Structure 1
Amino acid sequence: MDKVSRSGPDAATCEAIVRGRLSDPFSVLGMHGTPPAITVFAPDASEVEVVDMKGAPLATMDRIHPEGVFHATFPRRRKAFAYRLRCKAGDNEWLRDDPYRLSPVLGEMDEYLFAEGRHEELWTKLGAHPITHDGIEGTSFVVWAPNARRVSVVGHFNAWDGRRHPMRRRLGGGLWELFVPEVGAGDLYKFEIVGVHGDLLPLKADPLAFQMEEPPGTASVVARISPDWTDDEWTGRGRRDLRGEPVSIYEVHLGSWRRGDGDRVLSYTEVGPILADYVQDMGFTHVEFLPLSEHPYTPSWGYQPIGMFAPTSRFGDPADFAAMVNHLHEAGIGVIMDWVPAHFPSDEHGLARFDGTALYEHEDPRLGFHKDWNTLIYNFGRNEVSNFLRASALYWLKEFHIDALRVDAVASMLYLDYSRGPDEWIPNRYGGRENLDAIDFLRNVNTQVAERTTGQTIAEESTAFPGVSRPVDQDGLGFDFKWNMGWMHDTLQYMAEDPLNRRWHHDKMTFGLHYAFSENFVLPLSHDEVVHGKGSLLGKMPGDRWQRFANLRAYLSWMWTHPGKKLLFMGGEFGQEREWSHDRSLDWHLLDDPNHAGLQRLVRDLNACYRSHPALHARDCEPEGFQWIDGGDADNNAFSFLRKGHDGDAPVAVICNFAPVQRSEFRVGLPSAGNWREIFNSDATEYGGTGSGNGGYVSAEGDGWHGQPTSASLTLPPLATLVLTPDE
């Protein structure tokens, strides 16, 4: 064994080690100097021996502090050498590698790009990564906490003792890093942080954790994610311009769509095949999931996330989540996920005052707090924060093959005075109400998504902010689509009226066409319309039971033929009667009732009609794709219009009757003479209707009408929508 001398750090330094107040552990712990000396903190050991990499003993270390600081100097050596530590406590003996003898994990370019806010694949460096480093298996941990005095990684592997693994501070960007040998996938961890004022903060989850404990647990989980992707045919299609394609979206809350025996929540791998089969059978093109990033509070439905890089563990691990996405893609179904950069919860293990300061949020509550949701607002003007969020968006699209992100609560991001009183907000530098930092952030996110991925972005934006779906280089925000909240509110108000009163509200159905092509719109009948006392879609419809179903059939048919892409929340397709609750499954037993089964069949056929007739989707976002035949027939509660595709696409005529009476010999102008085929009738008996109609055809001949060169006399069923196309 080597001859050693018994010296080491002074008493004050040893006291800082055992009290967890060592801000620069790599300056003391590990091997230093010439001749080399080793200092180790091992509070769980009674004896520590230095051994070579084959386990041969080199020296027994001297305990220089009773709480576990050990030291040895090697006077005969002049160069640093690799070593391991053999620790003993009673009858127990174990070998371990010393993390403080190892080289840094981060490169200088990573640090530089992060400080600049331009590390677009941030997740490849920050977070917890099981790797082989300097020939040793373990996990690298990197976290941003620029104002902390000390940051440690803690977990079962060190008895959650923050003194044992203090991290190396990188001065350039406020990053802290440490490679911990032998820690691997499945290990729980958090960060213990001594704040800027020297106070010990509550343990923090990793902002870039790729997996987290299932709530109510709050620890992060070391994850090795290597999905077995077999969706090359789907992803190989590249980025698509969906404006001219059929897009009908089935919105899903995964925990309540369908449950197993005993009301058991199904896992990602269980629900994936069932959901894929159902959505494929129903003819929807996409599934949109309410947020599946990790969130502590289940009744928030995911809209108060903490794990911006972690699929929620309620349904399985990240590989299981990837398997569900893969299964949907193999079935030809796109996957959209709600993404929430507008705000975050104040749970103590999350981002709030992460290093003892307002790091991710604003210090001033007039900028940094949402009263509506009791949540905090990101500081979009801080480079590192905008980089963190932008990387989150790219992460889901690149690593989990998500096809589009629906960005929640965009209106709350755009306006500094959103839901605030006159004295509760701070104007921008020009004295205006627009949040200039958030606008720049959204433009940057959408630019990076378009340049680096095949994904799309969709804005839930409820105001008249200009250019939400206009390209950034045309002074827009750069989203691909925007939810048409105005259309949804107006048309639902119209449908809620007794048909006797609808003539006085006719403009609720027509007003949306004044701005229908100002953005690339999605028409949403979302989860927000069936919660908080609003009842179900079916429950909003007036009249007796038959009329309620007929109204909903006619309304969904109006929606599917109206310009704009379609979105329907789960349960709406078969007439869920109870208001939706996240705590229970949809009422699938209702499909035993012919009325509910008929409504489901109607939605399936609407999707088929929409997808097979280009006139109904090819020019959804262009004014040339729509023409009123008669939008002013308020006395009859009737609407008629043409949908048009490109040259060679047959036009489609749509006639809606929102009165509960049949109209015979109802004349409608049409653009060409001859037979027009009735390709859809929401009053068909297979949907639960009366079966009245036109025998499959109407004949257009004779005089023009409604400004069209010819016309047809037809039977317009009660509370029904007809769809006609020229018979070729």
Structure 2
Amino acid sequence: MSNRPPHLQQDDINALLDARHEAPFSVLGIHKSGRTSWCVALVPDAEDVTAKVGKKTVPLQRIEGPLFGGKVPASQSHYELMATYADGTEHSFLDPYQFGPVLGEVDQYLIGEGTHRQLWKALGAHVTEHEGVAGTHFAVWAPNAKRVSVVGEFNQWDGRRHPMRRVGGTGVWEVFLPGIGEGALYKYEIAPAEGAPFLKADPVGFGAQHPPETSSVVRDITGYGWDDDDWMQSRGKAQQRDQPISIYEVHLGSWRRTAEGRRLSYKELAEELVGYAKWMGFTHLEFLPISEFPFDGSWGYQPLGMYAPTIRFGPPHEFRDLIEAAHKAGLGVLLDWVPGHFPSDAHGLAQFDGSHLYEHADPREGYHQDWNTLIYNYGRTEVKNYLVANAQYWLEEYHVDGLRVDAVASMLYRDYSRKDGEWVPNRDGGRENYEAIDFLKEMNVVCYGAVDGIMTVAEESTAFPGVSTPVDAGGLGFGFKWNMGWMNDTLRYIEKDPIYRQYDHHLMTFPIDYSFSENFILPISHDEVVHGKGSMIAKMPGNEWEKFANLRAYYGFMWGHPGKKLLFMGCEFAQWEEWNHDVSLDWDALHGDKQRGIQSLVRDLNHLYRETPALHRRDCDPSGFRWLANDPAQSLSAFARFGEAEDAPVIVVCNFTPVERSWSVGTPEAGLWEEVLNTDAAIYGGGNRGNHGAVQTTETERDGHPQSIDITVPPLATVMFRLRK
């Protein structure tokens, strides 16, 4: 065959035509044989192909099928191919197989070692200029694939057209496609070691189609002009454990919808949600997961696009607009982050290159029975690198202020929610998942070391030690941990009929015994108002008045108790219905005086908490708390909160019966104690009973203190007093 280049063997031809060639760059493009340059191009459906090399246009001959080749002049410039089709149309394009590799030796070394901290800058689809030409560089990790191609509308989703090159021994494949830019749809077609090729979305894709469509989308995430320097420089202090942190947890798709039922966009949320959270006095917003996910009903907790903010509310730069708006309003932003499991959807990570690449092969390690999802193989260096880099990505690229890590307990224990015989012990025969523990430690060390002023939070429901202890002191390294024990105990208590509370007083008092073992956040989260659990107001016993009074007293107790605060949307105004992710919150409920009263109370609690050092400065320090009195028979409690020496202490008194009480309580200091909050106040929908001002101590010893105050405690109410200094 005279028109066949010497470097092109029949085996190469067959492999190219069958889309199974493992090294396409070795045969496609221009290659020299002696002093002669040969061009080989694979152009399906073309009738004729010519190559424009320098100033010369050379027709290429059909070698076999869609494979064309011929002698071309030597040239240092980029060459173009011109394809003519049966209908007479012509298409001119730069041949991708003339471009050298994009990934350098440092990238290859770090990827191979599993320590590429900014992995997203090497992998994924990057709009860039390479060798003076604009286009997109694609790179994906698929070490066990026989061939990987980029496919999209730009090449008729044909895996023959743009097969990629292997990058050393890293298991990464890459190709630079000139002329491809922002908004292009793409997937990877992967030919496994055995079996037919299949399509996968990009594990490091920065954008995705709106579900149920499953393609990745080329997104240029560079060049955003951030204007939040003041916040970024000050947030480190605002997120320390001695600062007030009150978090408003939000599901973006159902916080508020338009009259037509449309979800608000990121840009609309930047105005409406941010403005509301600021007005309510919260310090932080926390978003349920926004990493792209296929199923609305998972609320984002089954993510597949770990590097893509969901397109449901707008493109990536508009998500940045939302973050920036929050920062300008003085609000931090936390993201729910889900490294504990992922769904098995065909376009996702499951058996990504035909092998169990991201997940364990053994279902006893790699399958979550509770959620019908797969579990990452944390012991594989590349998988750990993928997840650690993802955590840093959100903090660095999107200026997110912290990550709340979902379902940490399920990661820490190999026998989580499993029966005997359904799990694999660790190397020492125990239940702890050493690989997951190492991953979490590394994630915290890397994130705190790489990005100033951030915080990480663990949703961890067991007594695993040292969750919020630094790694160098033997802990997991989180900044804070959700206090699930406090939430479970206190909700069990407040749901009881008041007549029975005297027998379970310990449910309100016992949590203090462990309240300082971690840096705790007190969470009333989305999990407490779904799946038949009812809304917060619906949990409360009694008639309508008693329900609202109970809830007001509970919120007062929560804001007075040591620990940072978290409240899920809708709970702040006591909507009657439990949360439904498919519809908006019931904002019409605020037409009712009692709902407006709850909203006003939460707003005032936030402002009081932020403005009163004794209520937040020692949230995580036992010296910031002291019991004053407990009367289980009457469901009464009194405790004091302290800041630094110069800070006025606060007394919190709770009455969880529907009977007004007169009570004498010992105080830590003599003086005038001003009533600064009363959940029974008329503005909150209460009966306006209480002390209406300040109470002077008397020299009457009580509860081990040389002085005390005589107070009125309204029914089903929490009252706070601050020493006037």
Q: How does 1:291-302 map to 2 (within 5 A)?
A: 291-302=289-300
Name the residue aligned to 2:215: 219
Whole-angstrom CA distance in 1 between matches of 2:722 and 2:342: 50
- The reply on whether 1:681 has 2:682 as its aligned counterpart is no
Q: CA deviation at 1:704?
A: 1.5
Q: Distance in 1 between matches of 2:199 and 2:463?
A: 42
Corresponding residue for residue 719 of structure 2: 722
Residue in 2 that maps onto 1:609: 608
Give the Å deviation of 1:81: 5.7
Q: 1:134 deviation in Å? A: 1.0
Taking the aligned partners of 2:234 and 2:683, their CA distance within structure 1 comes to: 37
| 1:8-27 equivalences in 2 (<5 Å) | 9-27=8-26
Provide the TM-score with structure 1 as the length reference: 0.97
Q: Report deviation, 1:171.
A: 3.1
- Relative to structure 1, the CA distance from residue 297 to residue 369 in structure 2 (aligned partners, 3 Å threshold; closer, same or farther) is same
Q: Which residue pairs with 1:42 in the alignment?
A: 43
Counterpart-to-counterpart distance in 2, 1:129 and 1:616: 48
Question: Are 2:173 and 1:172 aligned?
Answer: no
1-structure distance, mates of 2:627, 2:100 = 71
Q: How many pairs are equivalent?
A: 717
Aligned pairs for 1:638-677 within 5 A: 638-664=636-662, 666-677=663-674
TM-score in terms of structure 2 length: 0.98
Whole-angstrom distance in 1 between the partners of 2:207 and 2:292? 8
Corresponding residue SS for 1:543: coil
Residue type of the partner of 1:263? G
Contact 1:6–1:73, Cα closer than 8 Å, also in 2: no
Q: After superposition, give the CA deviation of every residue in 1:68-111 in whole Å (9 maximum; x if it has no partner).
A: 1000124xx56766321122124212221111111101001111
2: CA distance, partners of 1:506 / 1:201: 63
2:94 is aligned with what amino acid? D
Task: Specify the alignment match of 1:543 in structure 2.
Answer: 542
Shift of 1:448: 0.5
Cα distance in 2 for partners of 1:81, 1:315 equals: 44
**Equivalent position of 1:120 in the other structure:** 117
Q: Is the 8 A contact 1:130 1:223 kept in 2?
A: yes
The offset of 1:690, in angstroms, is: 0.4
Equivalent residue letter for 1:46: E
* Other structure's SS at 1:310 match: strand
Q: Distance in 1 between matches of 2:703 and 2:235?
A: 44
The alpha carbon displacement at 1:470 in A equals 0.3
1:412 paired with 2:413, answer no
Matched residues in 2 for 1:703 and 1:466: separation?
43
Q: What do the CA deviations read for 1:666-714 (whole angstroms, capped 9, x no partner)?
A: 1011122222100000000000000001121111112120111200111
> SS in structure 2 opposite 1:405?
strand
| Superposed displacement of residue 398, structure 1 | 0.4
Residue equivalent to 1:476: 475
Q: 1:644 to 1:259 in 2, by over 3 A?
A: same
SS where residue 422 of structure 1 aligns? Answer: coil
- With 330-339 and 78-87 compared, the bigger mean Cα shift is at 78-87
Give the match for residue 495 of structure 2: 496
Deviations 1:230-282 (A, max 9, x none): 11111122533520000000000000000012111111011111011100110
Q: How does 1:236-385 map onto structure 2 within 5 Å?
A: 236-237=233-234, 239-240=236-237, 241-385=239-383
CA distance in structure 1 between the aligned counterparts of 2:323 and 2:261, rounded to whole angstroms: 24
Give the secondary structure class of the aligned counterpart of 1:259.
coil
Indicate the residue corresponding to 1:389 in structure 2: 387
Determine if the alignment matches structure 1 residue 208 to structure 2 residue 207: no
RMSD (Å) for aligned C-alpha atoms: 1.2
SS of the residue corresponding to residue 677 of structure 2 reads strand
- Relative to structure 1, the CA distance from residue 449 to residue 295 in structure 2 (aligned partners, 3 Å threshold; closer, same or farther) is same
Q: Is the 8 A contact 1:31 1:80 kept in 2?
A: no
Sort the Cα spacing of 1:563 and 1:6 in 2 relative to 1 into closer, same or farther, 3 A: closer
Summarize deviations over 1:258-313 as a string: whole Å, max 9, x none.
Answer: 00121111110111110111001100000000000000010000000001100000
2:499 is aligned with 1:517:
no
Quick one: which amino acid aligns to residue 512 of structure 2?
L
- Inter-partner Cα distance in structure 2 for 1:190 and 1:715: 68
For 2:576 and 2:3, how far apart are their aligned partners in 1?
81
Kept after mapping to 2: 8 A contact 1:379/1:385: yes
- Tell whether the 8 Å contact from 1:637 to 1:657 is kept in structure 2 after alignment: yes
Output one character per residue of 1:565-610: Cα deviation in whole Å (capped at 9) or x when no partner: 0000000000011010000000000101000000000000000110
Between 1:89-98 and 1:33-42, the stretch displaced more is: 89-98
Q: In the aligned structure 1, how far is the partner of 2:52 from the partner of 2:447?
A: 51
Cα drift, residue 364 of structure 1: 0.5
Asked if the contact 1:652–1:724 (Cα under 8 Å) also holds between the matched residues in 2, the reply is yes
Asked if 1:193 corresponds to 2:190, the answer is: yes
2:53–2:75 contact (8 Å) kept in structure 1? no
Gaps of 5+ in 1: none
Q: State the alpha-carbon separation in 2 of the partners of residues 655 and 95 from structure 1.
A: 79
Measure, in 1, the Cα distance between the counterparts of 2:44 and 2:483.
Answer: 61
1:39-78 correspondence runs (5 A): 39-53=40-54, 56-65=55-64, 67-74=65-72
Is it true that 1:421 corresponds to 2:419 in the alignment?
A: yes
Which SS does the other structure have where 1:61 is aligned? strand
SS at match of 1:690: coil
AA aligned to 1:224 is D
**1:239–1:453 CA contact under 8 A, matched in 2:** no
What fraction of aligned residue pairs are identical, expressed as a percent?
54
Structure 1 position 153 matched with structure 2 position 145: no
Q: What is the correspondence of 1:551-562 to structure 2 with a 5 Å cutoff?
A: 551-562=550-561
**In structure 2, what is the Cα distance between the partners aligned to 1:5 and 1:13?**
15
Q: Distance in 1 between matches of 2:504 and 2:193?
A: 60
Map of 1:82 onto structure 2: 78
Matched letter for residue 39 of structure 1: V
Instruction: Determine the C-alpha separation between the residues in 1 that align with 2:90 and 2:66.
Output: 16
Q: Once the two structures are superposed, what CA deviation does each residue of 1:102-157 show, in whole Å capped at 9, x if it has no partner?
A: 11010011111011110000011100001111111110000000000000000000
Find the aligned partners of 1:623 and 1:81 in 2 and give their Cα distance: 72
Do 1:628 and 1:641's aligned partners in 2 also have CA atoms closer than 8 Å?
A: yes
Q: Secondary structure at the match of 1:693?
A: coil
Q: Return 5+ residue gaps in structure 2 as ranges.
A: none
Match of 1:707 in 2: 704
Measure the CA separation in 2 of the matches of 1:160 and 1:32: 27
Indicate the residue corresponding to 2:594 in structure 1: 595
User: Aligned residue for 1:230?
Assistant: 227
After superposition, the Cα gap between the structure-2 partners of 1:583 and 1:179, relative to the gap in structure 1 and judged at 3 Å, is: same
Shift of 1:44: 3.0
What is the one-letter code of the residue matched to 1:223? R
Structure 2 match to 1:142: 139
Are the structure 2 counterparts of residues 710 and 47 from structure 1 closer, same or farther at C-alpha, using a change threshold of 3 Å? same
Check conservation: 2:3, 2:61, Cα contact below 8 A. Answer: no
Deviation of the 1:7 alpha carbon:
4.2
- The CA deviation at 1:5 is 5.6
Q: How far, CA to CA, are the matches of 2:655 and 2:235 in structure 1?
A: 42
